[in-house]
């Protein structure tokens, strides 16, 4: 089992400065390796030295490749036994391009070639010797992961700057002793031990991350003797709950209940606070110390919002998972929902027309503030941890389909109300969508629930009002209320510092010259 524990570090001033220097050097190395791969891809058919058009100077063949046909650098990973030149064993295979390839030796990856060049990097730039070797290797593997995501359909790797490169990873040499952690070439460092690491787990890797409010360490631990979380089998599912996410209400459940959305970054108070601090930041002189301080203030506020959202989502995930054995979400493509509107071009004038993008900005911000996908991941993790099952279903027409007659029509929904135009079924639109989400999952796996959860009836949606009773003047009895008729509605409160246990009229009429005690 793999687990991740996050703690806040308490580095000294020297250690904090050293971490910042490491981040700068690692960012420079990352960008150089990325540029090396891009340049090699562009010059993969060039043999020998060539002229770089940007620098207008002579350049040699690069030491990295991305394409399968590239042959620069040292593409083959050969053992010492395979290299025998004139009867002698070659320990460092530097000139391998002219050697025959037998087809048995695996081909090196781009990351493997760049990792072998790290000793040369430390010789040419001695200040890189201060960095731990595993940190430099993990930095190149980070670029390999970016290229892997690109080949799977995600975006191409970008060059990093100080705002989006704020972490590095250790692979070995870490020790933890109570509230202290040892990081190679950084030394012992204190941290806030909010929860102890369980016994039997070994540390696999450690990631140091710089945030607006300080430095954090993420410890990845593993214990092979503990099995991973196993989802609940379908045959043992007795109850299920469907979840529909939204903006006004964060989650609407199939049992009729709803969970509100606090809107941590979009509420009136937080928007005003952000506006004031961002305005103060804009007034500062660029590249000044005051501007850097104001930027840190804005960053800490965003970090606070993120922490509030994360804590609230964990509570919501536990609350939703505790309701049933099966939790069902809709498979929303959140990134597609936040895409820009297509431009509209007037063919007559050649000008662009209003496409509604300015109005969609507020919707995109509200979707980002709700963080639906993060809530889905947290709910899936909590469900697996508690031994329950989590599933997702397609979201098409979940809010337009009637759960009784299964009629799909756009007029069925009127903002937050749902009224079927065929059978007349009425309910809240979000709770109705959650009910359809739940039913789709049950039909997908052919699940028959043995226990039906209690469905909370919605009183806000009324289809028809009862007819008022017909009253006539002859049936109306006018009666003056008396003390006996209103005795059950009166409040009996014993007065302080008084002998009477019940309020009421005094037994004797008082005059102006008599005291209450005499009565």
Q: What is the DSSP string of 444-461?
A: HHT---SSPPPPPPPSS-
- In this prediction, residue 476 has a pLDDT band, given cuts at 50, 70 and 90, of very low
Check whether 65 has a pLDDT greater than 80.
Answer: no
Of the candidates 192, 162, 164, 157, the one whose C-alpha atom is nearest the C-alpha of residue 178 is 192
- Among 251, 269, 271, smallest CA distance to 260 is for 251
User: Looking at the predicted structure, is the pLDDT value of residue 100 above 50?
Assistant: no
pLDDT band at 508 (very low <50, low <70, confident <90, very high): low
pLDDT digits (tens, 9 = 90+) for 433-453: 999 999 999 999 888 887 665
Read off the pLDDT band of 379 (50, 70, 90): very high
Mean pLDDT of the chain: 81
**Mean per-residue pLDDT for 423-428?**
86
If you count DSSP H runs as helices and E runs as strands, how many of each does the chain have, helices first? 10, 21
Q: Which of 36, 74, 244, 325 is catalytic?
A: 244
Neighbours of 141 (CB within 10 A): 16
**Full-prediction pTM beyond 0.85?**
no
pLDDT of 273 reads 95
Residue tagged active-site, from 36, 74, 330, 380 = 330
- Calculate mean pLDDT across residues 407-430: 86
Hey, which bits of 114-213 come out as E strands? 167-170, 175-177, 180-183, 187-191, 202-211
Lowest-confidence pick of 43-47, 111-115, 311-315: 43-47
Burial class (CB in 10 A: 0-12, 13-18, 19+), 325: buried
What is the structure's pLDDT at 500? 52
Share of the chain above pLDDT 70, in %: 76
DSSP strand pairing (426-428 vs 417-419)? antiparallel
Token readout for 191 is 């941290």
Among this protein's residues, is 430 annotated catalytic? Answer: yes
**Of 36, 132, 369, 430, which residue is the catalytic one?**
430
Q: In terms of pLDDT, which residue wins out, 336 or 103?
A: 336
Which of the two residues, 85 and 169, has the higher pLDDT score?
169
Residue 383's pLDDT band (cuts 50, 70, 90): very high
Mean pLDDT of 17-46: 88
Summarize the confidence of residues 145-160 as an average pLDDT. Answer: 92
What pLDDT is stored for residue 224 in this prediction? 85
Does 355 or 460 have the greater pLDDT score?
355
> Was domain 234-260+309-445 assigned CATH 3.30.390?
no
Residue 481 and residue 452: Cα distance in Å, rounded? 49
Nearest CA to 60 out of 47, 69, 77, 42 is that of 47
**469 in helix, strand or coil?**
coil
| 170 pLDDT above the threshold of 60 | yes
The span from the CA of 29 to the CA of 114, in Å, is: 10
Strands (E), 223-301: 240-245, 249-253, 258-260
Please state, in angstroms and rounded to a whole number, the distance separating the CA atoms of residues 483 and 494. Answer: 18
Domain ranges in the chain?
2-222, 234-260+309-445
| pLDDT tens readout for residues 120-143 | 999 999 999 999 999 999 999 999
Query: What is the average per-residue pLDDT within 419-435?
Result: 88
330 counts as catalytic: yes
pLDDT at 129: 93
| Torsion region of 418: left, alpha or beta (phi above 0 gives left; psi -120 to 50 gives alpha) | beta
* Mean local confidence (pLDDT), 423-429: 87
Q: What is the pLDDT of residue 71?
A: 36
Mean pLDDT to the nearest integer, 27-38: 92
Say whether pLDDT at 154 is over 90: no
Q: Which range (12-21, 76-85, 99-108, 298-307) has the least confidence?
A: 76-85
Residue 515 pLDDT exceeds 90: no
Q: What is the mean pLDDT of residues 477-501?
A: 49
Q: How many other C-beta atoms lie within 10 A of the C-beta of residue 56?
A: 7
């Amino acid at each position: 089992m793999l687990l991740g524990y996050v703690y806040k570090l308490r580095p000294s001033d020297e250690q904090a400065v050293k971490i910042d220097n490491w981040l700068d050097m690692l960012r420079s190395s990352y960008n150089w390796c990325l540029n090396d791969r891009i340049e090699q891809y562009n010059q993969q058919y060039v043999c020998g030295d060539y002229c770089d058009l940007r620098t207008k100077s002579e350049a040699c063949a690069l030491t990295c490749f991305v394409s399968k046909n590239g042959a620069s650098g040292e593409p083959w990973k050969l053992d010492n036994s395979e290299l025998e030149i004139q009867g002698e064993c070659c320990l460092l295979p530097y000139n391998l391009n002219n050697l025959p390839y037998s087809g048995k030796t695996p081909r090196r990856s781009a990351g493997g070639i760049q990792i072998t060049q790290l000793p040369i990097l430390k010789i040419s730039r001695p200040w890189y010797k201060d960095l731990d070797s595993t940190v430099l290797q993990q930095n190149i593997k980070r670029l390999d992961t970016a290229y892997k995501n690109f080949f799977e359909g995600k975006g191409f790797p970008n060059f990093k700057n100080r705002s989006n490169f704020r972490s590095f990873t250790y692979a070995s040499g870490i020790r933890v002793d109570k509230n202290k952690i040892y990081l190679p070439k950084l030394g012992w460092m204190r941290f806030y031990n909010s929860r102890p690491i369980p016994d039997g787990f070994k540390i696999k890797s450690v990631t140091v991350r710089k945030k607006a409010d300080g430095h954090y360490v993420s410890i990845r631990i593993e214990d092979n003797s503990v099995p991973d979380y196993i989802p609940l089998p379908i045959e043992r599912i007795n109850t299920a709950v469907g979840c529909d996410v939204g903006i006004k209400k964060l989650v609407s459940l199939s049992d009729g209940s709803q969970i509100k959305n606090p809107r941590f970054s979009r509420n009136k108070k937080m928007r005003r606070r952000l506006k004031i601090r961002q305005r103060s930041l804009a007034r500062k002189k660029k590249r000044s110390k005051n501007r850097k301080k104001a930027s840190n203030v804005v960053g800490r506020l965003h970090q606070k919002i993120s922490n509030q959202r994360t804590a609230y989502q964990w509570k919501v995930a536990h609350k939703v998972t505790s309701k049933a054995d099966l939790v069902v979400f809709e498979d929303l493509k959140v990134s597609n929902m936040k895409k820009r509107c297509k431009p509209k071009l007037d063919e007559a004038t050649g000008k662009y027309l209003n496409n509604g993008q300015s109005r969609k900005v507020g919707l995109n911000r509200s979707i980002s503030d709700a963080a639906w996908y993060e809530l889905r991941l947290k709910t899936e993790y909590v469900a697996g941890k508690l031994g329950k099952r989590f599933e997702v279903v397609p979201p098409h027409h979940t809010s337009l389909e009637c759960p009784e007659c299964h009629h799909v029509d756009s007029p069925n929904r009127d903002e937050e109300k749902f009224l079927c135009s065929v059978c007349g079924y009425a309910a809240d639109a979000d709770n109705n969508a959650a009910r359809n989400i739940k039913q789709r999952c049950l039909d997908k796996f052919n699940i028959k629930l043995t226990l039906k959860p209690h469905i909370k009836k919605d009183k806000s949606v009324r289809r028809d009002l009862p007819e008022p009773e017909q009253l006539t003047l002859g049936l109306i009895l006018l009666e003056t209320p008396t003390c006996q008729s209103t005795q059950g509605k009166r409040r009996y409160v014993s007065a302080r510092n008084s002998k009477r246990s019940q309020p009421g009229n005094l037994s004797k009429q008082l005059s102006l010259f008599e005291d209450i005690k005499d009565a």
